[in-house]
Chains A and B, each alone.
Chain A
Amino acid sequence: ETGVTQTPRHLVMGMTNKKSLKCEQHLGHNAMYWYKQSAKKPLELMFVYNFKEQTENNSVPSRFSPECPNSSHLFLHLHTLQPEDSALYLCASSQAGGGNSPLHFGNGTRLTVT
């Protein structure tokens, strides 16, 4: 496989469930990101990992917990979410550093919290 792969594509979970989103990149990049896209809102940066180290946590509630075991894999662990957390969650990767290095996105996980 090439590019950035996210699983699952769709997820419906109750507020008491625990689930995880998975992201894998095959581009040899060393930075990985989680973004949240809510309807008609800008993409919202959640977490950034450079060389497996978390470098950004954009004031995200603790019910979202990221994990980056290596430069190719990124997880987002979810627990006790709220209905307002329903959104499209996008994973991205890039070469770390240069502001001109574009992000490569996966196709996202559409999350619905009931």
Chain B
Amino acid sequence: DQQVKQNSPSLSVQEGRISILNCDYTNSMFDYFLWYKKYPAEGPTFLISISSIKDKNEDGRFTVFLNKSAKHLSLHIVPSQPGDSAVYFCAASGDNNNDMRFGAGTRLTVKP
């Protein structure tokens, strides 16, 4: 039962443009949504999160948008940089992080 889905396995954008990574979920009980970034040969690292009571959270070049009615969230990176090239995982959890669910990841390539 895949409760968090990232339907785009890969995305390619030009340096300086916007990258939009999408994520859908099925469990309306999720309270928090997180994005992680993973470089090859490294573990995922936390990037940004959003609570279910908000619809937007911004941190520098990274903004996460949440649409609860559509059970959809997205990560916007603007402007995109070649160093942003990585696999991005969407994750969701309830009020307890003991059961954090992850998507399959989207590989972002930012071309110079």
Contact = CB atoms under 8 A, between A and B. Distances in A.
Interface of A: 4, 6, 31, 35, 40-43, 45, 48, 50, 55-56, 90, 92, 94, 96-108
A6 B44 CA distance: 13
Contacts of A107: 41-43
A42 B2 contact: yes
A4 B97 contact: no
A43 B43 contact: no
Given A42-B104, A99-B31, A55 B98 contact: yes
Contacts of A94: 97
A104 B32 CA distance: 16
B4 A42 contact: yes
Contact of B43 (A4, A96, A97, A98): A4
Nearest to A4: B43
